Structure 1
């Protein structure tokens, strides 16, 4: 928890991050003349997160875009997704958007906290999270369509642009990617609004285990099953729990859904591994992106090298 002593007022900035925030605060019309205070909020590996207290108007949450994030994030599309999530009943209210700097301002949700992987050991949390995610996936289409294939191909190009590192077996990884892309495209895609970033911390829970979804920066219309596959990647559930959640989401478990999830797990790990190699080259945040990316590459390989890989592709 951040102590009350960490609150600052405009004009008290000492770090570059605080100065960036104060410059943004000056642009918010609704806060003209308000007695503002701000403090950092922990979490996130792309941006700097802040809580802003605006006197009687209450508390708000905003994030200052991290260096280089414009390579991955279309802030207008993210705002579109945030508003649709709130409309479907499982998102946080967006109270303002500054398109010139790409900053969304949200109501600060009292009584909720970011979940952890440990919270998902509880069946009630898992079920509520599935229902929240399904509601967003079933909402009206977003203005941006970007499939998992688009993301990976874009990231590979961006790694070259920034001089990032790629693994020695990149050619093999891309051959597997090509096989998966061809098989999934032939099977047909179910394009729906997806968060595309289902970290545990992007599910907020309260004491009753109710769930809200947050952080739609990477949201786009994407293959529905990719959303579930990425989630399973992040949570490392045992197969019994994955099957339970598949049945909750789809109403049934089938070998076809299972194969689709396995193939898309590999692609999701490849996507985030490649993203990490770009971030290693451009980000100023204190985070070991290379270690994160190397871990993701290793997980992708476990599926790309799996003896059942050809059978999964045929089963799609």
Structure 2
């Protein structure tokens, strides 16, 4: 992909980027050029060169993302990830724009689900997640219950689509919330967004975690549950990863994971119905949300659902 020089931006996305680049104090008067980086379904992503300096990465917040993302909290989480050894160096932060500027990981690439078919990648990812989850608490606490209930209200506010079995889904959600709260939550820093593209890999399969926009203190078991949602692992691999993270597999941890997998898919399906109404990005949010619900429903309808709740 070719570079665009500062001042040559034509579309709305490039002009929005250039307005932000002009406000970076360290780059005043420096020759700048940039190009788009693929990936992401909320923002536009960019690689930027400033003079003879090293390349950096930044993203421009997409329209409507302020409904879900507290940028100061995301920045705190990025710093926490850097400190725990599995994040990316944070070079600058523009709070008025909600824009973080990161070192560009030249020797790394975004992973895909296929990468996680290899045990070494899975285990390196678990070590990275565990390190972030074990980091000092974040300022923002936002549980999976807070997220779902916020999104349900937002869907109504923007006139988003509601699935025909919404009443059933919310009954199951209520059962899960009551059981999880009764069992007690282990609130720790969580990414809350463990899709494959947020794990960067180098040639030696070292892992770096990126994109902490949705990070908050949340139930620890949710981090692995959401990761399992995204990876579509087999039951055997999920058991392996639970043991790698927790040091053991137990029926109780398994039950907690299954219940939280259902809630994770419900959360992102509801998020997608909001994005369908407010986002300007070229992405099929309705299809994405429908896919998420197609994964949640078998869990909510599973014959073991009552037993899982009792085991929590």
TM, length-normalised to structure 2: 0.99
Query: Hey, what does 1:214 align to over in structure 2?
Result: 210
Deviation at 1:57, TM superposition (A): 1.8
Query: Hey, what does 1:150 align to over in structure 2?
Result: 146
Deviation at 1:120, TM superposition (A): 0.5
Deviation at 1:240, TM superposition (A): 1.0
Deviation at 1:55, TM superposition (A): 2.0
Once the two structures are superposed, the pairs formed by residues 63-82 of structure 1 within 5 Å of their partners are: 63-82=59-78
Deviation at 1:35, TM superposition (A): 1.3
Q: Structure 1 stretches (4+) deviating beyond 6 angstroms?
A: none
What is the SS of the residue equivalent to 1:260? helix
Distance 2:38 2:151 in 1: 27
Query: Hey, what does 1:193 align to over in structure 2?
Result: 189
Distance 2:21 2:218 in 1: 34
Q: CA RMSD in A?
A: 0.5
Deviation at 1:56, TM superposition (A): 1.9
TM, length-normalised to structure 1: 0.98
Instruction: Structure 2 unaligned segments of length 5 or more: list them.
Output: none
Distance 2:290 2:182 in 1: 30
Residues 185-209 of structure 1, C-alpha deviations (whole Å, 9 max, x = no match): 0000000000000000000000000
Match of 1:170 among 166, 184, 188: 166
Once the two structures are superposed, the pairs formed by residues 289-304 of structure 1 within 5 Å of their partners are: 289-304=285-300
Is it true that 1:127 corresponds to 2:127 in the alignment?
no
- Single out whichever of 296-305 and 222-231 deviates more from structure 2: 296-305
What is the SS of the residue equivalent to 2:307? helix
Match of 1:236 among 232, 236, 242: 232
Once the two structures are superposed, the pairs formed by residues 177-188 of structure 1 within 5 Å of their partners are: 177-188=173-184
Distance 2:102 2:208 in 1: 13
Match of 1:286 among 275, 282, 299: 282
Distance 2:257 2:12 in 1: 42
Aligned residues: 312
What is the SS of the residue equivalent to 1:40? strand
